[in-house]
Amino acid sequence: MTEMVYGTALARPGEPILPKWWRTLDRWSMTCVFALFGIGLLLGLAASPPLAEKNGLDPFHYVSRQAFFGTVALGTMIIVSMMSTHLVRRLATLFFIATLIALMLLPVFGTDFGKGATRWYSLGFASLQPSEFLKPVFIVTAAWLIAASQEINGPPGKLYSLIITLVVVGFLAMQPDFGQACLVLFGWGVVYFVAGAPMILLIVMAGAVTFAGVTAYSLSEHFARRIDGFLSTEVDPTTQLGYATNAIREGGFFGVGVGEGSVKWSLPDAHTDFIIAVAAEEYGLVMVLAIIALYAIFSVRCLYRLMKERDPFIRLAGTGLVAMFAMQAIINMGVAVRLLPAKGMTLPFVSNGGSSLIAGGIALGMLLAFTRERPQGEMRDILVRRRG
């Protein structure tokens, strides 16, 4: 009966965990992640010393922190990728509850570090941003609820997923962090769409997002200022967008040379939100295209493997994680070239940031676990049997 449902595949009874993990892992995707982190360290060597000097720290203080947190993130990614999909789902659900509580308590115990938005917990030696950790586990939890609703006599999982989505988006908007709120809503929308959402619902969602944007523009001076700056025909050369735009223009195809860029001395967020501007100025369009290619290869490889997956939960959760990962990269690079309004969002596994790196490691570890090869045969086997 199992073969009739899942097909056949070569099994290796008693195979050790590490060889089995390596055999079933998508090594192309793993290579892309390590390459992105390596590029991030290279760019950090160029972008972070000016900020360290300004703050009276060791020139390579931020690079050392990035190397440390990146190593932790990669180790976490490998450990999570070895887990079974059932264990990933259970841990993600528990972690979602914990991070949601942490998000709710931010107005009481959180800090804004002078940036006007209460998004972090100060731990003394480091800071913690709950929203970064919440995003991947939220997607997995929402996918589990939606997949459960497709079972016979299953719970109203789609409704439950919508409720928790609205709760998460609401608390993110209160910080305010409209960028992360939109990213969470986008990820849930992709999962719901792949699960077979009616088009009318998606249209209603788009209308609701538009209405929320107009309301935020009317009520939030910070939000309105960023939208006005984006819509303006002229860019103030003394703003972060102005510096980034000029750096990208100066870089050309091959850049001005390693260490010869000047934007890192002007941009306070050169090592985080605008690190792509440093890459464009010092290494040129060639480096930017290489970074884009790595994100594209990783995303396409994961989606290709998920297309062959028969478990609805794995297919939905994996697709949502890929969509959120790729969209965050698009938003970061889109802001730097003025295709999108300014939004403080890191470039995954390239930008400096402890919470971002470790949360990214968790997200990609779950994604690698979902895209491992499993003994389920090919989708065409089912179609042939059904015709028979």
pLDDT at 14: 65
Task: Please provide the size of the chain in residues.
Answer: 388
* Paired tokens of 215: 């309301």
Q: Does residue 144 carry a pLDDT above 50?
A: yes
pLDDT at position 91:
96
Whole-angstrom Cα distance, residue 233 to residue 242?
Answer: 12
Segment 326-344 mean pLDDT: 86
Residue 196 has pLDDT above 90, yes or no: no
Give the confidence band of 72 by pLDDT, cuts at 50, 70, 90: very high
Q: Between 295 and 11, where is the model more confident? A: 295
> In the predicted model, is pLDDT for residue 173 greater than 80?
yes
At residue 39, does pLDDT exceed 90? Answer: yes
Q: What is the pLDDT, as a whole number, of residue 119?
A: 85
User: pLDDT-derived band of residue 372, with 50, 70 and 90 as boundaries?
Assistant: very high
Q: What is the mean pLDDT of residues 211-220?
A: 78
Tell whether the model's pLDDT for residue 378 goes beyond 60.
no
- Greater model confidence, 323 or 217: 323
pLDDT of residue 12: 61
Query: HEC string of 85-145?
Result: HHHHHHHHHHHHHHHHHHHHCHHHHCECCCCCCCCEEECCCCEECHHHHHHHHHHHHHHHH
Which pLDDT score is estimated for 326? Answer: 95
pLDDT of res. 7:
41
State the chain's mean pLDDT as an integer.
85
Q: Answer whether residue 11 shows pLDDT above 60.
A: no
Q: How confident is the model at residue 57 (pLDDT cuts 50, 70, 90)?
A: confident
pLDDT score of 117 more than 80: no
Measured CA to CA in angstroms, residue 226 lies from 117, 159, 344 at distances of 14, 34, 11
By mean pLDDT, which of 39-43, 204-208, 288-292 is the weakest?
204-208
Band of residue 214 on the pLDDT scale cut at 50, 70, 90: confident
Return all residues near 14 (Cβ < 8 A) that are at least 6 apart: none
Task: For residues 181 and 228, give the distance between their C-alpha atoms in angstroms, rounded to a whole number.
Answer: 20
Distance CA 306, CA 327 (A): 18
Kindly report which listed range (60-74, 256-270, 304-318) carries the lowest average pLDDT score: 256-270
Mean pLDDT of 66-76: 94
Residue 371 pLDDT greater than 80, yes or no:
yes
Distance CA 243, CA 263 (A): 6
Can the peptide bond before residue 198 be classed as cis, meaning omega within 30 degrees of 0?
no
Residue 13 — very low, low, confident or very high, per pLDDT cuts 50/70/90?
low
Within 10 angstroms of residue 222's Cβ, the number of other Cβ atoms is: 11
Contacts of 25 (CB under 8 A, 6+ apart): 81, 368, 372
- 3-class SS string, 2-70: HHHHHCCCCCCCCCCHHHHHHHHCCHHHHHHHHHHHHHHHHHHHHHCHHHHHHCCCCCCHHHHHHHHHH
Instruction: Indicate if the pLDDT at residue 320 is higher than 90.
Output: yes
pLDDT of amino acid 1: 36
Domain boundaries, the chain: 17-373
